[in-house]
Chains A and B, each alone.
With several copies, the nearest count.
Chain A
Amino acid sequence: MKNIVDLSIDFAGIRLSNPVFTASGTCGYADELGEFMDIDKLGGFITKSISVKPRKGNATPRMVETDSGMLNAIGLANIGLDRFIEEKIPVLAKMKAAVFVNVAGTTIDDYIEVTEKLAGENAIAGFELNISCPNVKEGGISFGTDPVQVADITAKVKKAAGDKKLIVKLTPTVTNISETALAAVENGADALSLVNTFTAMVIDIETRKPVLANRTGGLSGPAIKPMAVYLVNKVYNEVTKNTDVPILGLGGIRNAGDAIEFMIAGATAVSVGTASFFEPRSCERIVKGIEKFCQAKNISAVRELTGSIE
């Protein structure tokens, strides 16, 4: 007889049925993924970035595959706040998973506007502040590399979020990620999400042009996993260990083993991005795989894994 494993976690005060989230921008608004797996099996769902106005996104090509990874330069294409509220909120309201809206903008006021307008929605548990997108000219990553700006935007958006939770999503392309992490935590972040993509470029040697129309893109997928695990562990040790701020770990996770590795490194929950593209059932399988692992190892609650690195 198999022992029962408690897969639930407490994530910044919210109880989730399990620690597996979708990653922003990689699962649309849930409808498409729903054709392949039961989305009620998710612990959390993070939407594509939402900005005040609709964004077309960047010109094509927006994607190129690299060794064990891919670059994207979607450019935060999204339907904009108004259509999001009208069309997507009703769908998201039906989800069992905790829904977090990923917020993007080019000015701090943009971020505040989106957050304020959505802060009253019952459908959502909170926000993920995207200050780490490498694929837009203004805003995005520029807010995320400087601890002073991280502090400022976190504090302001936290206020706008009312009693909703605020996850701050950090960029890995900084000299010392603990500085930006600390700035976020000290200014009201309820959770940290790390990491976003790494800036990168592929050049077509025949045409001598960058393959992406945007020239550069963000690297994601298994290629980045060992760097992401390191950064999660670093922030856990240096910033969050003795706080109640959980880390949402992501970057290259494609199976339960990867997810468990992030949790051992210090993540309370994990997000799956690129892996859903080639295996749309990834999230569901990872939840099952974590459960099996815990059974085999006699771990009674998945939360025991968090930060259990020796």
Chain B
Amino acid sequence: MTRPFLFSVWNRIMCDDGSKKGIFEAKVNSNRCIGEGFYRVNLGFCGDGARLFAGFIPGQFVEIDLSGAPLPAMDKIPEKLRDASGRSIILRRPFSLADVEVCGDVVNIEILYCCVGPASLRMMELKEGNVVSVIGPLGNGFDIDKNKKVALLAVGGMGAGPLQHLARELAKIPGMEVVAFAGAQSVDRLPFEKPFGDFSARPTLCLNEFSKSATKSIVATDDGSAGFKGFVTGAMESWLDSCKAEMKDIIIYCCGPEMMLATMAEIAEKRGIDCQVSMERRMACGIGLCQSCAVECRKKGTDETFYKMCCKDGPVFDSREVVYTL
């Protein structure tokens, strides 16, 4: 993959000391609940942090220290997370960005997150004015190929964040058709702000977050409570079946559960479509020190495999190189 250095907004601006990432203090601008268990937090950077984050590429991520944040009161913690919530955390946590906004000297980033354990529960309690330590920008991010004509986004779970960010950047490319496929078990598990657009028409331009960047979005729910009944992968296949573009002009970007990525990779392979997947791994450091975040990859043209590091070599990989862990 080649890095699209031509895109001015993505140009990596360096710190005074020349480094491309750093540890910064960010101020919490807002933190709000957008649905049961889903939140969006907005963090502001100034100085070197602002300069580096202005060049943030969709798909890159940050590592946030939440060890000093308060635990929510027990009655705010979902019962099944209560036991785990008491664990004392020391490690930072990786989060992708859903948005980056440059406002003069200040750069604000937005994270879409879901409460699943001790760190993300603590994140819920961040209040306007709190300060958190953030390491970033980290990882490679999605590789945008301007020569493609159609970009399909396969969104599962918290993949909604980075793919919203990506959609906005793709929309800037003249002539690029962008369609987002967002899946969840049921309509109330969709990590988007309510009210949604009109679900009844399908396919329909219905998720506000995507329609803002003029991106069509198609919803798939396992139970059929909204949009296409079935998986996101099914929704995309049926879209592809009736699509007129040549396969070589299409690119698929995926972010979601590994199972979805694996299926998406198969579909892409079968149809000869380029596909990039954003992988998740448990990360102790996020910066290449610990080798925790191994992603098994194929050595081209052989059966041999080796490990790449999700935090440094990823989190975005060519869908063909990954050996998925299911």
Direct contact of A and B (CB under 8 A): yes
Q: Are B89 and A26 in contact, with the CB atoms below 8 A?
A: no
Which residue on chain B has the smallest CB distance to residue A213? B325
Q: Are A27 and B289 in contact, with the CB atoms below 8 A?
A: yes
Query: Which of B67, B88, B285, B291 has a CB less than 8 Å from the CB of A276?
Result: B285
A87 at the interface (CB under 8 A from B): no
Contacts of A74 in B (CB 8 A): 290-292
Which residue on chain B has the smallest CB distance to residue A78? B291
Which residue on chain B has the smallest CB distance to residue A63? B292
Which residue on chain B has the smallest CB distance to residue A65? B91
Query: Which of A35, A72, A257 has a CB less than 8 Å from the CB of B290?
Result: A72
Q: Are A280 and B291 in contact, with the CB atoms below 8 A?
A: no
Query: Which of B87, B294, B295 has a CB less than 8 Å from the CB of A65?
Result: B87
Q: Are A60 and B289 in contact, with the CB atoms below 8 A?
A: no
A165 to chain B, nearest CB (A): 25
Known contacts A278-B65, A278-B90; A72 and B284 CB within 8 A of each other: yes
Q: Are B307 and A57 in contact, with the CB atoms below 8 A?
A: yes
B238 at the interface (CB under 8 A from A): no
Which stretch of B19-27, B107-115, B212-220, B243-251 is in the interface? B19-27
B282 at the interface (CB under 8 A from A): yes
Determine which residue in A25, A48, A59, A65 has the highest number of CB atoms from chain B within 10 A of its CB, and name it.
Answer: A65
Which residue on chain A has the smallest CB distance to residue B63? A278
CB 8 Å contact bits of A22-65 with B (1 = contact, 0 = none)? 00011110001101100000000000100000001111111111
B135 at the interface (CB under 8 A from A): yes
Known contacts A256-B83, A257-B84; A32 and B90 CB within 8 A of each other: no
Number of CB contacts from chain A to chain B under 8 A: 114
Known contacts A35-B287, A74-B291, A280-B135; A56 and B307 CB within 8 A of each other: yes
Q: Are A59 and B296 in contact, with the CB atoms below 8 A?
A: yes
B86 at the interface (CB under 8 A from A): yes
Which residue on chain A has the smallest CB distance to residue B312? A32
A99 at the interface (CB under 8 A from B): no
B257 at the interface (CB under 8 A from A): no
B7 at the interface (CB under 8 A from A): no
A61 to B91: give the CA distance in the assembly, Å: 16
Q: Are B282 and A64 in contact, with the CB atoms below 8 A?
A: yes
Q: Are B281 and A56 in contact, with the CB atoms below 8 A?
A: no
Contacts of A56 in B (CB 8 A): 305-307
B157 at the interface (CB under 8 A from A): no
A142 to B160: give the CA distance in the assembly, Å: 47
Q: Are B288 and A32 in contact, with the CB atoms below 8 A?
A: yes
Which residue on chain B has the smallest CB distance to residue A296? B80
Q: Are B88 and A63 in contact, with the CB atoms below 8 A?
A: no
Contacts of A289 in B (CB 8 A): 83
Q: Are B306 and A255 in contact, with the CB atoms below 8 A?
A: no
A230 at the interface (CB under 8 A from B): no
Q: Are B83 and A255 in contact, with the CB atoms below 8 A?
A: yes
Query: Which of A26, A63, A222, A256 has a CB less than 8 Å from the CB of B282?
Result: A63
A206 to B135: give the CA distance in the assembly, Å: 32
Contacts of B21 in A (CB 8 A): 35
Query: Which of A28, A62, A68, A72 has a CB less than 8 Å from the CB of B90?
Result: A68
A28 to B291: give the CA distance in the assembly, Å: 8
A254 to chain B, nearest CB (A): 7
A155 at the interface (CB under 8 A from B): no
Q: Are A60 and B284 in contact, with the CB atoms below 8 A?
A: no
Q: Are A254 and B282 in contact, with the CB atoms below 8 A?
A: no
B170 to chain A, nearest CB (A): 29
A229 at the interface (CB under 8 A from B): no
Contacts of B168 in A (CB 8 A): none
A35 to B288: give the CA distance in the assembly, Å: 11
Which residue on chain A has the smallest CB distance to residue B286? A277
A274 to B277: give the CA distance in the assembly, Å: 29
Query: Which of A28, A63, A254, A256 has a CB less than 8 Å from the CB of B288?
Result: A28
Known contacts A72-B284, A74-B292, A77-B294; A35 and B90 CB within 8 A of each other: no
B residues near A, CB below 8 A? 19-23, 65, 67, 82-84, 86-92, 135, 281-285, 287-296, 305-307, 312, 325
Q: Could you list 27 A-B pairs, sorted by A, with CB under 8 Å?
A: A27-B289, A32-B287, A35-B21, A56-B306, A56-B307, A57-B294, A57-B307, A60-B296, A62-B282, A62-B292, A62-B294, A63-B284, A65-B89, A65-B91, A66-B87, A67-B87, A77-B294, A77-B307, A255-B83, A257-B84, A277-B285, A277-B289, A278-B90, A278-B92, A280-B285, A280-B287, A289-B83
Known: A59-B325, A63-B284, A65-B284. 14 other contacts (CB 8 A): A26-B290, A35-B21, A36-B19, A57-B307, A59-B296, A61-B282, A61-B292, A68-B90, A77-B291, A254-B86, A255-B83, A256-B83, A276-B289, A277-B91
A residues near B, CB below 8 A? 25-28, 32-33, 35-36, 48, 56-70, 72, 74, 77, 221-222, 254-258, 274, 276-281, 289
